[in-house]
């Protein structure tokens, strides 16, 4: 269980039920009052080498931006929701890239306002909309601190239209299993070969636990997807991903195998990742391979198109062999 070393909080959170609950829950933890969760000077000034220590803090505030961004993948909109950042430390995490080294977990206590906007948008739409609520954090992990996911599902179940979706790398799903979710929630479990989980996705659940969580969620009648992401073209990547897909075939329940869909995403990387990783994880493996990646502006890198094409052919062949009838939403 995550125990923060310090809590940085905006005074306003005392006006919210969740804010009061969190202050009470962490009454023993040292606290620092802040003006704005977006701009904590003390944190901005820290060295990259202090990245992991910074991740031990919890920032609690009120979310001010509520703008939805159109999306055309599994969801229709990316929605800013109850948290951003995470206590884990995947070396490629795109939140690091967006927030520089400030990818620590921030919790937002005005959840009623955020869910209300989703419900209103869903009800006003002619078509059935799906809202991605987990693009800025990991909500299964966040739920262990706030119970927000349970609260969200309970409060969304009787809405007549719309679905919610989020990805996760965590197996802590037990609190969700008995909820009356009415199949309005799509949970997408992110997986990678065991070697990558152990050497790159620090602080996340093991592969075996993630697969067990998928089987439990399917048994509890949730719609479940599998995100093979991010694909990292390390040495022997074919063998590594072949073993992963075989592992899925052998360990998913029959019921899960019948219904899961797939998304495949190739890793992107950035100058910021490189700077932080080389100082914060000096002994870790190198995931940036300049012979395989190319710049795509603003210090960001993506795999070269011939590598991506090779990867796409590989994943289409493997998945159609082992999961012949399952939908692949996209490979990007």
Q: Which residues neighbour 64 within 8 Å (Cβ) at sequence distance 6 or greater?
A: none
Contact between 230 and 92 under an 8 Å Cβ cutoff? The reply is: yes
Kindly tell me which of 57 and 204 has the beta carbon lying closer to ligand SF4. 204
In angstroms, the CA 251 to CA 247 distance is 6
**Binders in 150-169 for ligand SF4, by CB under 6 A:** 169
Kindly tell me which of 86 and 319 has the beta carbon lying closer to ligand SF4. 86
**Binders in 167-186 for ligand SF4, by CB under 6 A:** 169
Kindly tell me which of 202 and 261 has the beta carbon lying closer to ligand SF4. 202
In angstroms, the CA 117 to CA 281 distance is 40
Contact between 108 and 114 under an 8 Å Cβ cutoff? The reply is: yes
Q: How many residues bind ligand SF4 (CB under 6 A)?
A: 10
Return the biggest CA–CA distance within the chain: 56
**93 binding ligand SF4? (CB under 6 A):** yes
In angstroms, the CA 322 to CA 332 distance is 20
**Binders in 190-249 for ligand SF4, by CB under 6 A:** 204
Interacting span for ligand SF4 (CB under 6 A) from 85-93, 192-200, 205-213, 300-308: 85-93
Side-chain half-sphere exposure of 65, counting CA atoms within 13 A: 12
CB of 86 to ligand SF4, least distance (A): 3
**272 binding ligand SF4? (CB under 6 A):** no
In angstroms, the CA 103 to CA 177 distance is 29
In angstroms, the CA 306 to CA 324 distance is 25
**88 binding ligand SF4? (CB under 6 A):** yes
In angstroms, the CA 57 to CA 31 distance is 10
Interacting span for ligand SF4 (CB under 6 A) from 34-42, 82-90, 143-151, 303-311: 82-90
Side-chain half-sphere exposure of 130, counting CA atoms within 13 A: 16
Kindly tell me which of 184 and 188 has the beta carbon lying closer to ligand SF4. 188
CB of 89 to ligand SF4, least distance (A): 6
Draw the binding track, 105-144, toward ligand SF4 (x: CB under 6 A; -: no contact).
--------------------------------xx------
**75 binding ligand SF4? (CB under 6 A):** no
One of 57, 82, 89, 130 touching ligand SF4 (CB under 6 A) = 89
CB of 104 to ligand SF4, least distance (A): 10
* Per-residue tokens: 328: 């692949």
Contact between 331 and 309 under an 8 Å Cβ cutoff? The reply is: no
Order of all β-strands in the sheet with 268-270: 268-270, 300-303, 293-295
CB of 294 to ligand SF4, least distance (A): 22
Kindly tell me which of 203 and 299 has the beta carbon lying closer to ligand SF4. 203
**270 binding ligand SF4? (CB under 6 A):** no
In angstroms, the CA 199 to CA 283 distance is 10
H helices within 161-223, ranges in order?
Answer: 194-200, 207-219
Kindly tell me which of 89 and 277 has the beta carbon lying closer to ligand SF4. 89
User: Where does this chain bind ligand SF4 (CB under 6 A)?
Assistant: 86, 88-90, 93, 95, 137-138, 169, 204
């Amino acid at each position: 269980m995550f125990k923060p070393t310090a809590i940085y909080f905006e005074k306003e959170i005392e006006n919210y039920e969740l804010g009061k609950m969190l202050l009470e829950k962490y009454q023993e933890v040292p606290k620092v009052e802040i003006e704005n969760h977006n701009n904590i000077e003390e944190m901005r000034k820290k060295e990259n080498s202090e990245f992991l220590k910074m991740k031990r803090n919890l920032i609690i505030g009120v979310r001010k931006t509520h703008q939805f961004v159109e999306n055309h993948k599994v969801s229709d909109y990316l929605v800013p929701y109850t948290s951003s950042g995470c206590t884990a430390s995947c070396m490629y995490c795109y939140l690091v890239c967006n927030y520089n080294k400030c990818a620590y977990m921030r919790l937002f206590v005005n959840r009623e306002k955020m869910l209300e906007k989703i419900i209103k948008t869903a009800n006003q739409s002619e078509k059935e909309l799906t809202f991605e609520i987990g693009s800025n954090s990991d909500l299964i992990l966040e739920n262990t601190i706030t119970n927000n996911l349970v609260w969200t599902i309970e409060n969304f179940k009787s809405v007549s239209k719309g679905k919610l979706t989020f990805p996760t790398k965590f197996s802590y799903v037990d609190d969700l299993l008995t909820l009356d979710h009415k199949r309005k929630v799509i949970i997408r479990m992110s997986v990678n070969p065991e070697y990558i989980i152990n050497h790159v996705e620090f602080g996340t659940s093991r592969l075996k636990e993630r697969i067990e969580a998928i089987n439990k969620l399917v048994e509890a009648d949730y719609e479940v997807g599998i995100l093979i992401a991010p694909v990292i073209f390390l040495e022997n990547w074919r063998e590594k991903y072949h073993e992963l897909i075989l592992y899925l075939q052998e360990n998913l329940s029959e019921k899960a195998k019948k219904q899961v869909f797939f998304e495949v995403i190739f890793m992107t990387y950035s100058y910021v990742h490189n700077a932080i990783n080389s100082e914060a994880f000096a002994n870790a493996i190198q995931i940036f391979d300049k012979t395989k990646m190319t710049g795509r502006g603003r210090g960001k890198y993506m795999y070269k198109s011939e590598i991506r094409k090779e990867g796409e052919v590989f994943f289409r062949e493997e998945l159609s062999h082992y999961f012949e009838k399952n939908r692949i939403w996209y490979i990007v």
